[in-house]
Structure 1
Amino acid sequence: MVAGFLALRLYSVLGKRTGHEQALPKPAEERVAMPPVTRTLDAAPEPRESLNRAIEPGAEAGLRSVIAADSSFDVNQFVEGAKSAYRMILEAFWKGDEETLAWLVDEEVRAAFLQSIAERKALGQTLDNRLVSIERATIAGASLEAKVARIAMRFDADVVAVTRDAEGAVVAGSMSDAITTHDVWTFARNLRSDDPNWKLVETDEA
Structure 2
Amino acid sequence: MSYSFEYIDIILLAMIAGFIFLRLRGILGKRSGFDGKASTHFDKILKEAVVAKKSENNEVFDEEAQKEFLKGAKIAYETIITDFSDNDNKLTTSKPLLNKETYNQFNEALKERSGRGHYAEITFIGINSAVIKEHKKIDKIFNVTVDFIAEVITCIKDKDKKIISGDPEKIKKIYDTWVFSRDITSANPNWQLVNILT
TM-score normalised to structure 2 length: 0.69
Structure 2 residues not aligned, in runs of 5+: 1-36
Verify: 1:143 aligned to 2:136, yes or no.
yes
> What letter is aligned with 2:180?
F
Verify: 1:116 aligned to 2:109, yes or no.
yes
CA contact (8 A) 1:183 1:204 kept: yes
CA offsets 1:23-51 (integer angstroms, 9 cap, x no match): xxxxxxxxxxxxxxxxx99xxxxxxxxxx
Cα separation, 2, equivalents of 1:182 and 1:202: 14
Aligned residue for 2:44?
12
Aligned residue for 2:150?
157
Query: Larger % of helix: which?
Result: 2
Give the deviation of 1:199 after TM superposition.
0.2
Q: Which has the higher contact order (CA 8 A, sep 6+)?
A: 1
CA offsets 1:83-109 (integer angstroms, 9 cap, x no match): 110000111112144233321111111
Cα separation, 2, equivalents of 1:88 and 1:191: 23
4+ aligned runs moved over 4 Å, structure 1? none
Aligned residue for 1:84?
75
How many equivalent residue pairs? 154
CA contact (8 A) 1:16 1:78 kept: no
Aligned residue for 2:126?
133
Verify: 1:175 aligned to 2:168, yes or no.
yes
Aligned residue for 2:5?
none
**Aligned-pair RMSD on alpha carbons?**
2.5
Cα separation, 1, equivalents of 2:179 and 2:67: 16
Structure 1 residues not aligned, in runs of 5+: 18-39, 42-63
Aligned residue for 2:26?
none
CA contact (8 A) 1:65 1:143 kept: no
% identical equivalent positions:
23
CA contact (8 A) 1:162 1:174 kept: yes
CA contact (8 A) 2:46 2:68 kept: yes
CA contact (8 A) 1:109 1:202 kept: yes
